Chains A and B, each alone.
Chain A
Amino acid sequence: MKLNNVILKTTTQVVFFMIFLFSIHIFFAGHFSPGGGFVGGLLTASALVLLLLTYDLKTVQQLLPINYTTMTAIGLLLSLGTAATSAFLGDAFFKHYFDHFTLPLFGDTELHTAMLFDLGVYLVVVGVTMIIIQSIGGDE
């Protein structure tokens, strides 16, 4: 018997974007309120897991053709690069810089290099979580 998961699929199509946007929000909130790269990454991964639950592994891989090993490596590279930049600028390793910028739409915004480090953490968390789940779930 073939089940028709029309309710699950329709709900997922809406809820996926809500979780994904919430994870981005959490990611950017990290500096001044609870959140950050780790939680943000886990939330994004959970949105992807919802996709995996609704559709099968192959469909999701076609939908998002991402090599998560490369993604993890890029995340590590980004974090290490951010930490090492200060060493090339003559400061101690891991020194982070920030300044205020006036951006259109956002107005006065404080931009930190710590955010780039967090982006690295975010990519590693998403990558590692998805590698674990895909390699347990898939049998190649």
Chain B
Amino acid sequence: MTNFLLTPIILPFFTAILLMFAPKKVYYQRVVTLVSLILTTACAVYLIQTIHTEGIQVVTFGNWPEPFGITMVADMVAMLLVTTSVIVALFTVWYSFKSIGIEREKFFYYPGVLLMLTGVNGAFLTGDIFNLFVFFEVLLMASYLLSVLGGEKGQLRESIKYILVNVISSALFVITVAFLYSVVGTLNMADISVKIAELNQPGIITTIGVLFLIVFGLKAAIFPLFFWLPSAYAAPPVPVLALFGALLTKVGVYAITRTYTLFFVHDTGFTHTLLLVLSCLTILAGCIGALSTFNVKNIIIYNIVIAVGVILYGVAQMNEDGLMGAMFYIVHDMFIKAALFFLVGIMIVVTGTANLKKMGGIMRTYPTLAWTYLIAAFGLAGIPPLSGFIGKMLIVEGGLAAGNLWSSLWILLSSLIVLLSVIRIFIYGFWGEAKTLVPKESRTHYKQLLIPSMLLVLLTVAYGVGAEWITPYMQDAAEVLLHPSVYTDAVLKE
């Protein structure tokens, strides 16, 4: 049973290999992918329960002693994110059946999704900094495929930018790991944490901390490093965009969270203040972007940037409320972003355009879509019973407890701008005079797209309403983040 925590990595990988044997058989591809993702979800949920009752699960490859082998660590932080990713991938695959198009499905679309999920889950679960790099590359390689698959002109142009930025940030990642290795002489994350505590974080370690912030900031799109994201995410088709928006930046956020709660905790006056300032600027940049555009995809894409800022603001507080809020918010954000991209995708399908100014009056023909969108939009902004509320409230409480009055107010203010940006889609798109829609026969699959989207929105509502039941798990996660010794003791078995 010790190996059970590897199932969220191995199952998607194994399925991707199986799919490679018959790439042209679309039906086979769909069924196998769906079955495997359902199985993976079951395993992930079971693992959450195991961690909750029995504590952190650890396995070191090949029975090697602890700092020497590659360790996989399933703590509550990682497992919550893994479960969320798997569920988002499940819904995305379901949504893809009717939206991605048969041509892409025949050319390794599902293996791409599954390998990306392998990389994402591996990055969440690994306890080794170089292994984290390897899993980053696994998910990036798969995302390059998904980003360029289809070969439209815009996709080709944007994937060149996307690959260029990520190759540079990956090289920087290796350099940073080399620096860290030359100082502490180990790659195991728990061991690094112990060694840095022994050294009491000299200046060079703080420098490495900032380098890590740059590396993961490029992946997670924080303030000065988010420039590549809006155009690169707008190019691929909607299901791929939903997958990217929900998972990829969050892996960067997770990596920042992990390194800034496990490694660099001895000079928080510098590193965490820097993180706080950057997160506030990230929110500002995202808000400006979200209000600046009339493209429905881009509005939601800029909301990714805002969410990254909010989560990192919670992490920068380094108190229980802030970290618990960040965990609540990151899970909420992964669900709600996927759901919003699905809904916006349906809007694009029924109107045939992504430009808000050319839409109008969709509500008359599609009331269900409109109300589902409204619930998702309120959830994103954090209207009380819905999912975004509890996370942001805890983050602001954490900010106030840490004495950051003005920046906490800024977080609250940003919620208004988020609400404004998504309600603008509602007002321009759903209200008003009906404008021409795409004729009915070319959108017969509307219902099949709406069902997974509605279920995902329903899931976010349940997440918000059932926050009471989820809180113990979030407390476990915040406990691990707040006390690095919980993590290191579990891994090094002291």
Contact = CB atoms under 8 A, between A and B. Distances in A.
Nearest to A73: B20
A70 B21 contact: yes
B2 A92 contact: yes
Question: Binding site of A, secondary structure by majority: helix, strand, loop or mixed?
Answer: helix
A69 B23 contact: yes
Interface string B1-32: 01100100010011001101101000000000
B21 A73 contact: yes
B17 A80 contact: yes
Nearest to A76: B17
Contacts of A94: 61-62, 70
A80 B14 contact: yes
Interface residues of B, number: 17
A93 B17 contact: no
A95 B17 contact: no
Interface size class of A (residues with CB under 8 A): 10 to 19
Residue among B13, B21, B70 having the largest count of chain A Cβ atoms under 10 Å = B21
A72 B62 contact: no
Interface string A18-53: 000000000000000000000000000000000000
Question: Binding site of B, secondary structure by majority: helix, strand, loop or mixed?
Answer: helix
B20 A69 contact: yes
A56 interface: no
Nearest to A94: B61
B60 interface: yes
A15 interface: no
Contacts of A73: 17-18, 20-21
Contact of A92 (B14, B23, B63): B63
A84 B59 CA distance: 13
B188 to A, nearest CB: 15
A93 B61 contact: yes
A53 B15 CA distance: 36
A96 B62 contact: yes
Given A84-B10, A87-B3, A92 B17 contact: no
A95 B64 CA distance: 8
A69 B107 CA distance: 12
A77 interface: yes
Contacts of A70: 20-21
Given A80-B10, A84-B10, A92 B3 contact: yes
B10 A92 contact: no
Interface in B17-50: 17-18, 20-21, 23
Nearest to B17: A76
B21 A92 contact: no
A93 B13 contact: no
Interface of B: 2-3, 6, 10, 13-14, 17-18, 20-21, 23, 59-63, 70
Interface of A: 69-70, 72-73, 76-77, 80, 84, 86-87, 91-96
5 contacts: A73-B20, A87-B6, A92-B59, A92-B60, A93-B6
Closest 9 CB pairs of A and B: A73-B20, A94-B61, A87-B3, A94-B62, A76-B17, A92-B63, A95-B62, A93-B3, A95-B63
Given A92-B62, A95-B63, 16 more contacts: A69-B20, A69-B23, A70-B20, A73-B17, A73-B21, A80-B10, A80-B13, A80-B17, A87-B6, A91-B63, A92-B2, A92-B61, A92-B63, A93-B62, A94-B62, A95-B61
